[in-house]
Protein backbone atom coordinates (compact mmCIF):
# COMPACT_ATOMS: atom_id res chain seq x y z
CA UNK A 1 0.00 0.00 0.00
CA UNK A 2 1.35 3.42 -0.93
CA UNK A 3 1.74 5.99 1.78
CA UNK A 4 -0.52 9.03 1.49
CA UNK A 5 1.32 12.02 -0.03
CA UNK A 6 0.52 15.29 1.78
CA UNK A 7 1.45 17.24 -1.37
CA UNK A 8 1.16 16.39 -5.04
CA UNK A 9 3.32 18.25 -7.57
CA UNK A 10 2.53 18.18 -11.28
CA UNK A 11 4.54 19.94 -13.98
CA UNK A 12 2.90 21.78 -16.86
CA UNK A 13 5.70 23.25 -18.93
CA UNK A 14 7.38 25.88 -16.76
CA UNK A 15 4.50 25.89 -14.27
CA UNK A 16 4.38 23.65 -11.19
CA UNK A 17 0.93 22.79 -9.84
CA UNK A 18 1.23 22.12 -6.09
CA UNK A 19 -1.82 20.52 -4.47
CA UNK A 20 -2.25 20.30 -0.70
CA UNK A 21 -3.56 16.74 -0.36
CA UNK A 22 -5.50 16.36 2.90
CA UNK A 23 -9.05 16.71 1.56
CA UNK A 24 -10.47 14.67 4.44
CA UNK A 25 -9.28 17.45 6.80
CA UNK A 26 -9.97 20.33 4.40
CA UNK A 27 -6.19 20.54 3.89
CA UNK A 28 -5.67 21.75 7.45
CA UNK A 29 -2.01 22.32 8.28
CA UNK A 30 -0.55 19.61 10.45
CA UNK A 31 3.13 18.82 11.03
CA UNK A 32 3.39 16.44 8.04
CA UNK A 33 1.75 18.84 5.58
CA UNK A 34 3.79 21.81 6.84
CA UNK A 35 7.02 19.82 6.53
CA UNK A 36 6.03 18.75 3.01
CA UNK A 37 5.32 22.38 2.06
CA UNK A 38 8.80 23.42 3.24
CA UNK A 39 10.48 20.58 1.36
CA UNK A 40 8.45 21.17 -1.82
CA UNK A 41 8.97 24.92 -1.97
CA UNK A 42 12.67 24.63 -1.14
CA UNK A 43 13.00 22.20 -4.08
CA UNK A 44 10.92 24.35 -6.44
CA UNK A 45 12.93 27.45 -5.52
CA UNK A 46 16.06 25.83 -6.97
CA UNK A 47 14.36 24.16 -9.95
CA UNK A 48 15.38 26.32 -12.91
CA UNK A 49 12.76 24.76 -15.19
CA UNK A 50 9.93 26.09 -12.97
CA UNK A 51 9.07 29.78 -13.39
CA UNK A 52 5.64 29.97 -11.71
CA UNK A 53 3.90 27.91 -9.02
CA UNK A 54 0.14 27.40 -8.70
CA UNK A 55 -0.92 26.42 -5.19
CA UNK A 56 -4.28 24.72 -4.67
CA UNK A 57 -6.00 22.30 -2.32
CA UNK A 58 -7.60 18.94 -3.03
CA UNK A 59 -11.28 18.57 -2.29
CA UNK A 60 -13.70 21.28 -1.19
CA UNK A 61 -11.26 23.66 0.53
CA UNK A 62 -7.96 25.30 -0.25
CA UNK A 63 -6.74 25.19 3.37
CA UNK A 64 -8.73 25.33 6.59
CA UNK A 65 -5.79 26.76 8.56
CA UNK A 66 -4.07 25.01 11.43
CA UNK A 67 -5.23 21.47 12.16
CA UNK A 68 -7.16 21.94 15.42
CA UNK A 69 -6.82 18.27 16.37
CA UNK A 70 -3.04 18.56 16.24
CA UNK A 71 -3.13 21.92 18.01
CA UNK A 72 -5.22 20.43 20.81
CA UNK A 73 -2.86 17.47 21.18
CA UNK A 74 0.25 19.68 20.96
CA UNK A 75 -0.41 23.36 21.85
CA UNK A 76 3.27 24.19 21.24
CA UNK A 77 2.95 23.43 17.54
CA UNK A 78 2.57 27.15 16.78
CA UNK A 79 5.80 28.08 18.56
CA UNK A 80 9.47 27.41 18.05
CA UNK A 81 9.58 26.50 14.38
CA UNK A 82 6.08 25.03 14.29
CA UNK A 83 3.39 26.65 12.16
CA UNK A 84 3.55 30.29 13.31
CA UNK A 85 4.16 33.43 11.27
CA UNK A 86 7.94 32.94 11.35
CA UNK A 87 7.79 29.19 10.85
CA UNK A 88 9.93 27.29 8.35
CA UNK A 89 6.80 26.90 6.21
CA UNK A 90 6.11 30.64 6.02
CA UNK A 91 9.79 31.36 5.37
CA UNK A 92 9.93 28.73 2.59
CA UNK A 93 6.95 30.34 0.83
CA UNK A 94 8.32 33.86 1.31
CA UNK A 95 11.85 32.94 0.20
CA UNK A 96 10.84 30.89 -2.82
CA UNK A 97 11.49 33.79 -5.19
CA UNK A 98 9.01 32.58 -7.80
CA UNK A 99 5.43 33.75 -8.22
CA UNK A 100 3.07 31.57 -6.20
CA UNK A 101 -0.48 31.87 -7.45
CA UNK A 102 -3.24 31.18 -4.97
CA UNK A 103 -6.51 33.07 -4.53
CA UNK A 104 -4.92 35.93 -2.52
CA UNK A 105 -2.02 36.32 -4.94
CA UNK A 106 -4.36 36.21 -7.91
CA UNK A 107 -6.27 39.15 -6.43
CA UNK A 108 -3.07 41.09 -5.62
CA UNK A 109 -1.61 40.57 -9.09
CA UNK A 110 -4.87 41.51 -10.82
CA UNK A 111 -5.28 38.02 -12.24
CA UNK A 112 -8.93 37.81 -11.27
CA UNK A 113 -10.42 39.10 -14.47
CA UNK A 114 -12.99 36.44 -15.17
CA UNK A 115 -15.17 33.91 -13.46
CA UNK A 116 -14.89 30.31 -14.49
CA UNK A 117 -16.76 27.17 -13.54
CA UNK A 118 -15.12 25.05 -10.85
CA UNK A 119 -14.50 22.22 -13.31
CA UNK A 120 -12.17 24.44 -15.41
CA UNK A 121 -10.59 26.40 -12.53
CA UNK A 122 -7.25 24.56 -12.52
CA UNK A 123 -7.01 24.59 -16.32
CA UNK A 124 -7.74 28.34 -16.46
CA UNK A 125 -5.31 29.04 -13.61
CA UNK A 126 -2.56 27.03 -15.29
CA UNK A 127 -3.11 29.03 -18.50
CA UNK A 128 -2.74 32.31 -16.57
CA UNK A 129 0.35 30.94 -14.80
CA UNK A 130 1.87 29.96 -18.14
CA UNK A 131 1.44 33.53 -19.36
CA UNK A 132 3.38 34.75 -16.32
CA UNK A 133 5.99 32.01 -16.82
CA UNK A 134 6.58 33.25 -20.38
CA UNK A 135 7.51 36.68 -19.03
CA UNK A 136 11.06 37.78 -18.33
CA UNK A 137 12.19 35.67 -15.32
CA UNK A 138 14.32 38.49 -13.89
CA UNK A 139 11.34 40.85 -14.00
CA UNK A 140 9.07 38.33 -12.30
CA UNK A 141 11.70 37.64 -9.63
CA UNK A 142 12.17 41.37 -9.03
CA UNK A 143 8.40 41.85 -8.69
CA UNK A 144 8.12 38.94 -6.27
CA UNK A 145 10.98 40.32 -4.17
CA UNK A 146 9.43 43.79 -4.13
CA UNK A 147 6.06 42.38 -3.04
CA UNK A 148 7.66 40.39 -0.21
CA UNK A 149 9.87 43.22 1.01
CA UNK A 150 7.21 45.90 0.62
CA UNK A 151 4.67 43.80 2.52
CA UNK A 152 6.78 44.18 5.65
CA UNK A 153 6.94 48.00 5.43
CA UNK A 154 4.67 50.94 6.17
CA UNK A 155 2.97 52.30 3.04
CA UNK A 156 5.26 55.33 2.64
CA UNK A 157 8.38 53.20 3.03
CA UNK A 158 6.99 50.61 0.61
CA UNK A 159 6.35 53.29 -2.01
CA UNK A 160 9.91 54.60 -1.59
CA UNK A 161 11.24 51.07 -1.99
CA UNK A 162 9.12 50.58 -5.12
CA UNK A 163 10.44 53.83 -6.62
CA UNK A 164 14.07 53.03 -5.85
CA UNK A 165 13.86 49.50 -7.22
CA UNK A 166 11.93 50.67 -10.27
CA UNK A 167 14.66 53.16 -11.15
CA UNK A 168 17.39 50.58 -10.53
CA UNK A 169 15.56 48.05 -12.71
CA UNK A 170 15.07 50.52 -15.56
CA UNK A 171 18.77 51.39 -15.51
CA UNK A 172 19.73 47.77 -16.22
CA UNK A 173 16.70 46.53 -18.20
CA UNK A 174 17.09 45.15 -21.72
CA UNK A 175 14.38 46.69 -23.86
CA UNK A 176 15.42 44.94 -27.10
CA UNK A 177 12.49 42.51 -26.96
CA UNK A 178 9.89 45.04 -25.78
CA UNK A 179 8.07 45.34 -29.13
CA UNK A 180 7.67 41.57 -29.55
CA UNK A 181 6.43 41.23 -25.94
CA UNK A 182 3.90 44.04 -26.45
CA UNK A 183 2.66 42.41 -29.64
CA UNK A 184 2.25 39.07 -27.82
CA UNK A 185 0.25 40.84 -25.08
CA UNK A 186 -1.99 42.51 -27.66
CA UNK A 187 -2.60 39.19 -29.44
CA UNK A 188 -3.42 37.45 -26.17
CA UNK A 189 -5.82 40.25 -25.15
CA UNK A 190 -7.63 40.04 -28.49
CA UNK A 191 -8.06 36.27 -28.21
CA UNK A 192 -9.84 36.44 -24.83
What's the chain's Rg over C-alpha atoms? 18
- Structural domain contains residue 81: yes
3-state SS assignment for residue 147: helix
Rounded-to-integer distance, Cα 145 and Cα 81, Å:
23
Predicted TM-score (pTM) of this structure: 0.69
> Rounded to the nearest 5 degrees, what angle is found at the Cα of 44, between the Cα atoms of 135 and 182?
5
Q: Is residue 183 assigned to a domain?
A: no
- 163 - beta bridge partners? none
DSSP-derived pairing of the beta strands 100-101 and 7-12: unpaired
Residue 73 lies in a domain: yes
Per-residue tens of pLDDT for the chain, all 192 residues: 445 899 999 999 999 999 999 999 999 888 889 889 999 999 999 999 999 999 999 988 888 888 888 877 876 666 555 665 667 888 898 888 888 888 666 666 666 666 677 788 788 888 878 888 888 788 888 888 888 888 778 877 877 888 788 778 777 777 677 677 777 767 766 776
Rounded CA-CA distance 149/143 in Å is 10
**H/E element, 101:** strand 100-101
Does some domain include residue 121? yes
pLDDT in tens, 152-190: 788 778 778 887 887 787 777 776 776 777 777 677 667
Give the number of domains in the chain: 1
CATH number at residue 34: 3.90.226.10
**pLDDT for position 76:** 66
For residue 52, the enclosing domain spans: 7-134
The verdict on residue 161 lying in a domain is no
Domain annotation covers residue 28: yes
Query: Of the candidates 173, 115, 116, which has an alpha carbon nearest to the alpha carbon of residue 139?
Result: 173
Amino acid sequence: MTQHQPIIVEYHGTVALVTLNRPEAYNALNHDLSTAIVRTFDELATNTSVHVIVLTGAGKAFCAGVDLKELTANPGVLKDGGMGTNSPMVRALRNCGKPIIDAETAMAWGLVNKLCPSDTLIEDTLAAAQQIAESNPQTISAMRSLMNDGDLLALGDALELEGARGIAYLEQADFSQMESRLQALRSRAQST
